[in-house]
Amino acid sequence: MKSKNLRQSMPLVTAFIDECREAFGKEAINRSIKAGMDGQETFWARENGIEVGTPPSKPFEACTVPWECR
- Tens digit of pLDDT for each residue in 17-36? 999 999 999 999 999 999 99
Quote the pTM value.
Answer: 0.75
Domain extent, residue 65, equals 3-69
Tally of domains in the chain = 1
- pLDDT by position in tens, the chain (length 70): 556 698 999 999 999 999 999 999 999 999 999 999 999 999 999 999 999 999 988 766 666 555 555 4
Distance of CA 42 to the CA centre of its chain: 9
| Burial tier of 6 (Cβ tally within 10 Å: 0-12, 13-18, 19+) | middle
